[in-house]
Amino acid sequence: MMKSFATKLDYKIPEELQQYVVAVIQGESEANIDVIYPVFPTGFPLMINIYNDIPTLHINNEIICPNSRLQVAGQIYNANVTIEIKGVFGQIGLVFYPSAPYYLFHKLGGSFLNRWCDLETSSPVSIKTLHNDLSNCQIPLDRVSMLLEFVNSLHNNRLPEIEWLDKALFKIYSLGGKISQENLAEHAKISLRHFRRKFKEIIGVSPKYFCKVIQLNTVFEMLSTNDTEKLHQLALDCGYYDQAHFIKDFKKLIDNSPVNFLNGEHSYVKTYLGRAGV
């Protein structure tokens, strides 16, 4: 039985790391399980520590078996991603802002796009101490402070900030994704062409796609029930012009209709959809 899928933990993130880490999440099962669950775009990459059986990834029909218990998961774009768990499920995740992989790992967004990457090969600093500490850790929640301490070491080696990009991301969050690329470029005081190119280069997806992901996840952030009528009203409140427009975007990103998704076997995954409190 699944104890938790991807529950946001009530954990105080150190102030100096709040520019990178949005939230801490945990997923656990009480015993052995055999399940495949879909993973959908949220707009936020992750750093994951697997402390029980290592799952298998299915990305666009390619089967991937991670070699490490420490993984960096990037943006999802036009990809069919599922995770297969055979055994005991247990992992702690740090939800990152989308610019964090660039600042902390010195890699462009495309490096992590539709991928889980071993931290050993992704980190610009040694993970030996982190690996040893986690190997000796018996209490799952104690791992959070170890992961955050490692992020702090990355922070000390970070790339210079791109001020206009951080402001654009904040604008997207504050407006729930309801803003055009043109307005974002205007606020950034750079050309639209340069804005689009650099945004996609750093984040891994286009600003238009990213805004759609945030807009849809804003709806999920507000949804606490499987009430389809409420979902459609929330979609209108979150800036969709009409129900048909919302359903079109929903099908494109979730590969299902809202009604079928909320009433289907994988409806529980909506617990990780949303904006993680941004």
Q: Give tens-digit pLDDT for 135-160.
A: 999 999 999 999 999 999 999 999 99
- What pLDDT is recorded for position 143? 98
- What pLDDT is recorded for position 38? 84
Q: pLDDT of 210-229, one tens digit each?
A: 998 998 888 776 665 556 66
Mean pLDDT to the nearest integer, 27-55:
92
Q: What is the chain's mean pLDDT, rounded?
A: 88
Mean pLDDT to the nearest integer, 90-118:
96
Q: Decide: 204 and 110 in contact? Cβ < 8 Å.
A: yes
Are residues 219 and 101 located together in one domain of the fold? no
CA angle 163, 164, 165 (to 5 degrees): 90
Are residues 78 and 207 located together in one domain of the fold? no
Are residues 21 and 139 located together in one domain of the fold? yes
Mean pLDDT to the nearest integer, 192-220:
92
Rounded to the nearest 10 degrees, the angle between the axes of helix 243-254 and helix 228-237 is 100
Q: Decide: 3 and 266 in contact? Cβ < 8 Å.
A: no
- What pLDDT is recorded for position 277? 55
Check whether 134 has a pLDDT greater than 90.
Answer: yes
Least confident of 30-44, 69-83, 172-186: 30-44
Q: Identify the domain boundary among 155, 180, 196.
A: 155
Are residues 139 and 24 located together in one domain of the fold? yes
Are residues 57 and 6 located together in one domain of the fold? yes
Domain carrying residue 167: 163-271
Q: Which phi and psi (to 5°) does residue 36 adopt?
A: -120, 125
